[in-house]
Amino acid sequence: MGLPALLASALCTFVLPLLLFLAATKLWYLYCVSSRDRSCALPLPPGTMGFPFFGETLQMVLQRRKFLQMKRRKYGFIYKTHLFGRPTVRVMGADNVRRILLGEHRLVAVQWPASVRTILGAGCLSNLHDSSHKQRKKVIMQAFNREALQCYVPVIAEEVGSCLEQWLSCGERGLLVYPEVKRLMFRIAMRILLGCEPGSAASGGEEDEQQLVEAFEEMTRNLFSLPIDVPFSGLYRGVKARNLIHARIEENIRAKIRRLGVEEPQGDCKDALQLLIEHSWERGERLDMQALKESSTELLFGGHETTASAATSLIAYLGLHPHVLHKVREEIKSQGLLCKSNQGSKLDMATLEQLKYTGCVIKETLRLNPPVPGGFRVALKTFELNGYQIPKGWNVIYSICDTHDVADNFTSKEEFNPDRFIPSHPEDSSRFTFIPFGGGPRSCVGKEFAKVLLKIFTVELARHCDWQLLNGPPTMKTSPTVYPVDNLPARFTHFRGDI
């Protein structure tokens, strides 16, 4: 091979790819610089934008907490980055987050990443805006008022009790807590939010129930993906799992529509799906099956994924802090729920509302391990935040977990200390330092349902079980909700004591 051929080969092999890479990097830099609002004199927040197209998405997905902690240490409470194909500002701290959460419709609007919008669909509550969002939320909120919650209490207690009996029967071999809790919360969400009995003939039997649970796990894993819909990509797998879920849910929706068309109304206790169907009928609208499937999928996702995360964290923290579990049992005993002769006592809303310390335990769990790490918005106009410009069209992520971490009113932040949430305690003072359910017009629609569910779970767990964490304190991971890397192996035994 002659010298010209060698030079041509070297040019094609090394020089051209290098030049293309340098050109792409330069164009990326120019894109990032030009995306600032030049009519605003304020600077962009500090930070980096990562690699061309990919931005810093891969680093965040792979490193998550380590990546976010490094960013916070280096850039503070506001910084720019590029995530999920969009220039993004990440925000934390009570004052900054207050501005975002209360700026809905004026400064920002909800806009989840393209992968979330594609998988969950435009018809779900999280992706609706303005009057459509307000109207849908008003309908769904009827499923979470106090009267409805009272109807749910015995259903939740029944499901939790049945689940704990199975855990106790595992004996010395123990079990993996997180997947078991996810199945429990899925069953509760199916019964309460969609009015479907899991494992019954109407829902396809236990085999289909397990298939649905696995499909939700696959969808959840790929919810936050790069917007690339090609075979084997995260978005492709997420959509495929979503389609299976929609197919199963549609069968349940059609069965419910047939029942509602022929049966007399049974009391005032209606599940969220029934309320959505009846709302369309009352307005004389044709039922939108796609919107119902998307709403049902969102309800199931929100109703079991986040509560499973929180319940698993509760088991971990109570297992690691026996003195806190002892105080929970003392409070339960004060309500006549702990004595062996009274184990069949029925829970109700009035009793649950008296369990103040148990509520503090749940709050402290949500402070340390908020199931949802943050929320997504888009800037409707360029605005100022703490001396920086937030350009119109940029995504804004407000961080729940970081806001909890940096809150000044919490002392000894790493410690699990439910006493900090006792109402008279000075640490329970600021509205936006504790935001596990978000805030403003977009606060979690099911937060009261979640609180009741977690209280019942804690009561039933404390009065029936002792347990041991087989691997000690768990390492937590976020994808997209918080969960233990080892799935929290534990051994459960009957609680036989009386305090």
Q: How far apart are CA 108 and CA 72, in angstroms?
A: 23
pLDDT tens track for 8-54: 565 566 555 655 555 555 554 555 555 788 888 899 999 999 887 77
Whether 468 has a pLDDT exceeding 60, the answer reads yes
Residue 164: pLDDT band with limits 50, 70, 90: very high
Q: Which tokens sit at 223?
A: 């919810």
Whether 252 has a pLDDT exceeding 50, the answer reads yes
* Percentage above 70 pLDDT, the chain: 87
Paired with 86 in beta bridges are 83
pLDDT tens track for 365-383: 999 999 998 999 999 999 9
Identify residue 108 by its one-letter amino acid code: V
Q: How far apart are CA 385 and CA 95, in angstroms?
A: 10
Burial class (CB in 10 A: 0-12, 13-18, 19+), 446: buried
- Give yes or no for a contact between 396 and 416, defined as CB atoms under 8 angstroms apart: no
* Residues in Cβ contact with 490 at an 8 Å cutoff, skipping those fewer than 6 apart: 174, 175, 177, 315, 319, 467, 468, 469, 470
Q: How far apart are CA 138 and CA 300, in angstroms?
A: 18
Quote the radius of gyration of the chain (alpha carbons, Å). Answer: 25
Paired with 150 in beta bridges are none
- Give yes or no for a contact between 472 and 463, defined as CB atoms under 8 angstroms apart: no
What average pLDDT is seen over the chain?
Answer: 87
Whether 208 has a pLDDT exceeding 80, the answer reads no
Model confidence, pTM: 0.89
Residues making up the binding site: 444
Among the listed residues 266, 306, 304, 298, the one whose alpha carbon sits nearest the alpha carbon of residue 436:
306
Domain residue limits, the chain: 44-494
Q: Please give the backbone phi and psi of residue 90, each rounded to the nearest 5 degrees, phi first.
A: -105, 130
Residues making up the binding site for heme: 444
Q: What is 44-494's CATH topology?
A: Cytochrome p450 (1.10.630)
Whether 111 has a pLDDT exceeding 80, the answer reads yes
pLDDT tens track for 74-93: 999 999 999 888 899 999 99
